[in-house]
Chains A and B, each alone.
Chain A
Amino acid sequence: MTLDELEQIANEVQAAKEKSPRALNVCVAAGCLSLHSDAIKSALEKEVQRTGVNCRVAGTGCMGLCSLGPLVNREPDGQLLKNVAEADAAEIVEKLESVPPERLLCSREQPFFQRQTAVVLENSGRINPEKIEEYIAAEGYQALVRALTEMAPAQIVQEVSKSGLRGRGGAGYPTGLKWGTVAKTIGTTKYVICNADEGDPGAFMDRSVLESDPHRVLEGMIVAGYAVGASQGYIYVRAEYPLAIKRLQAAIRDARRLGFLGSQICNAKFSFDIEIRIGGGAFVCGEETALIASIEGRRGTPRPRPPFPAQSGLWQMPTLINNVESFANIPTILRRGGEWYASLGTKKSKGTKVFALCGKVRNVGLIEVPMGTPLRQIIFEIGGGIPDGHRFKAVQTGGPSGGCIPEQSLDLPVDYESLKEVGSIMGSGGMIVMDDSACMVNVARYFMEFCMSESCGKCIPCRAGTAQMFELLTRMTSGTATPQDLELLEDLCDMVSSTSLCGLGQSAPNPVLSTLRYFREEYTEHIVDKHCRAGVCECNHLAEVSA
């Protein structure tokens, strides 16, 4: 494959579009699909066939505003239709050339769309994820062909370093540095692994990227393979994401067909192939050494580092592990240059970040903003604020390893450092908004229950510590706790976070610590007054009985 051949494919797609400029693109990513958008797609197809109008009907990836789904995007005018039902098909096709029905119209002028910057999601909702040609028409695989024909591996690593991209899985380790380490490690066999074991509850960024634009991830992985000298890649994806697995399988097949995977890719002395490994629903497998154990067919338990996977990973070989979103950034970084990417974001956190905005917020969905965007803007402008007249209470980031951020910290610019400062972490990008109907002690207990049952059991601080902390939190929510229990809880938090083997245990106390820091009065109310101000916990009931 050469650049000219890529251009030819792109031109063919373009020509087909010009021949029939009208199109209805139905979102068939998991969110809209579970609202039966596939049935809407076939209803539209039938209607187009019946009336004989010249209009393409296609399925695309996520358009972002999941709470107003199913969404349909109309070409060529780009009008967005919301809450579409099967019964609307006739009217939509009939009014193809005029203004769509008022009740279906979803303005693209609203802050939800205006305040976003799309890099990873640039094709999401615009191309058909099951057609490699459409990805190529959107400048796809150009970065790969350029890299293989014009750049040396070291140059690619340099470009990625220049971009300032940091690991999007949550920890924020500089990607360029990681690539450099693996590239420099001596070894004939090296591996590239894409971590798509998105275990954080309330996070669905990776799922959406894989479902909406799978080739972008493959391209990033192949480039990485070339840059570090690997010839085999694995994508470790959750079994809970059947649609993402299906689209990935199709994408790998198509990439092989066009020669982007296999031997002598683009006539370069470089061979690379990718296999999918399906997870088994264990949260700890998101930890890189546990993930490697799982790919090797064993129980997913972590091991102490060093040696880091960059030196000794899969089958004791040097292994590069990156998150889905990190790989998805690579094609754009190479196409537009590391400097361009570094111009987005803040001093220490470059580029953009995809967030899954959900919970008690008006606009639920997938968003991408430059690093450094204030939380307030994300929640109140893009998210549209809190519905049903409730008051904002906290936003939870980073899943079970993160923390709750209160109202007074809302003007905080979102980047790795400032989130850490307020006791949370960037995490993979789940952002769950809570209003005054949520009890912070109960939320802390919820996450502790999660960590307790997801602890792999290898190290004692995590296995026993999370169980004890859960027990203490349960006493508080059920109204049987004493003031000593709070002291004990704080001691345990300190012990578990400083002595656990892997990230799961080390960060398990975070939800407790952050809620204690900002909502300590709620803990005291539960313990002393046996009162839950949100009215969620059982202790209220107890107080009534004794009164």
Chain B
Amino acid sequence: MRRHGFAREALIETLHTVQEYFGYLDKPSLRFVAASLRVPLSQAYGVATFYHYFTLKPPGKHTCLVCLGTACYIKGAGQLLATAEASLNVKAGETTLDGNVSLVTARCIGSCSMAPAFIFDGETAGNVNENALRSKLAGWKN
């Protein structure tokens, strides 16, 4: 916040930084950011919920991101998402009960040349098939 001179327009930048450090935006940090930048809490909450990139829930230990861009969709990302949902027993956007894996989706990660693409814990994987997905998820179980 200091870097941006506590400017109100730096709200999104600040939230990005907070999420980068804490993994998500909880109520105390939203309150703190809003107070420091002198913006209404409702505006901070509005921004945090408007942009898909921000999350208000703590992420799991591992993150499995499914790209649902057109190229991935045409090459079967929808079925792969269903597989992931079934094997983790969660819906897209949720985290497993034990807090181990978060299953999230993206509009397009721009890796269309390797569709269907996934990001497992920050590492992009291309041309993912059912077996590769299953074994990756199984590997996280322990």
Residue in A239, A300, A356, A447 with the greatest tally of chain B CB atoms within 10 Å:
A239
CA A6 – CA B10 in complex, angstroms? 36
CA A324 – CA B103 in complex, angstroms? 32
User: A30 near B124 (CB under 8 angstroms)?
Assistant: yes
The segment from A175-183, A273-281, A414-422 found at the interface with B is A273-281
Residue in A202, A203, A356 with the greatest tally of chain B CB atoms within 10 Å:
A202
- In the assembled complex, the CB of B5 is this many whole angstroms from the nearest CB of chain A, namely 13
User: Which residue of the partner chain B has the closest CB to A300?
Assistant: B50
User: A297 near B71 (CB under 8 angstroms)?
Assistant: no
A30, A294, A356, A359: the one contacting B74 at CB < 8 Å is: A359
User: A358 near B51 (CB under 8 angstroms)?
Assistant: no
Judge if A167 is at the interface, Cβ distance under 8 Å.
no
| B12 partner residues in chain A, CB cutoff 8 A | 277-278, 280, 294, 297
User: A432 near B70 (CB under 8 angstroms)?
Assistant: yes
CA A396 – CA B71 in complex, angstroms? 10
User: A297 near B9 (CB under 8 angstroms)?
Assistant: yes
B46, B52, B70, B114: the one contacting A282 at CB < 8 Å is: B52
The segment from B83-91, B94-102, B104-112, B131-139 found at the interface with A is B104-112
Q: How many residues of B contact A (CB 8 A)?
A: 39
Judge if B54 is at the interface, Cβ distance under 8 Å.
yes
Evaluate whether A446 and B53 lie within 8 angstroms (CB atoms) in the complex, with A204-B111, A207-B110, A278-B12 already known: no
User: Which residue of the partner chain A has the closest CB to B122?
Assistant: A242
Judge if A66 is at the interface, Cβ distance under 8 Å.
yes
Judge if B59 is at the interface, Cβ distance under 8 Å.
no
User: B11 near A31 (CB under 8 angstroms)?
Assistant: no
Interface residues on A, range: 35 or more
User: Which residue of the partner chain A has the closest CB to B79?
Assistant: A536
Residue in A200, A278, A283, A358 with the greatest tally of chain B CB atoms within 10 Å:
A358
User: B8 near A297 (CB under 8 angstroms)?
Assistant: yes
- In the assembled complex, the CB of A391 is this many whole angstroms from the nearest CB of chain B, namely 15
Judge if B73 is at the interface, Cβ distance under 8 Å.
yes
Evaluate whether A204 and B110 lie within 8 angstroms (CB atoms) in the complex, with A299-B46, A358-B71, A359-B71 already known: yes
User: B126 near A201 (CB under 8 angstroms)?
Assistant: no
Evaluate whether A278 and B70 lie within 8 angstroms (CB atoms) in the complex, with A34-B124, A198-B110 already known: no
In B39-84, the 8 Å CB interface with A consists of 39, 43, 46-47, 50-54, 68-71, 73-75
Judge if A491 is at the interface, Cβ distance under 8 Å.
no
| A358 partner residues in chain B, CB cutoff 8 A | 71, 112-113, 115
- In the assembled complex, the CB of A13 is this many whole angstroms from the nearest CB of chain B, namely 30
User: Which residue of the partner chain B has the closest CB to A31?
Assistant: B113
Judge if A509 is at the interface, Cβ distance under 8 Å.
no
User: B74 near A438 (CB under 8 angstroms)?
Assistant: yes
User: Which residue of the partner chain B has the closest CB to A437?
Assistant: B74
CA A204 – CA B107 in complex, angstroms? 12
| B114 partner residues in chain A, CB cutoff 8 A | 31, 34-35, 66-67
A56-77, CB under 8 A of B: which get 1 and which 0? 0000000000110100000000
| A69 partner residues in chain B, CB cutoff 8 A | 113
User: Which residue of the partner chain B has the closest CB to A449?
Assistant: B68
Evaluate whether A280 and B74 lie within 8 angstroms (CB atoms) in the complex, with A240-B106, A358-B115 already known: no
List 11 A-B pairs, Cβ < 8 Å: A34-B117, A200-B108, A202-B71, A240-B106, A240-B109, A240-B110, A277-B13, A282-B50, A358-B112, A432-B112, A447-B70
Known: A34-B114, A239-B16. 6 other contacts (CB 8 A): A30-B111, A202-B112, A240-B108, A241-B110, A277-B12, A364-B115
Q: CB within 8 Å of B: which residues of A?
A: 30-31, 33-35, 66-67, 69, 198-204, 207, 239-241, 277-283, 294-300, 356, 358-360, 364-365, 396, 399, 430, 432, 434, 438, 443, 446-447, 450, 454, 456
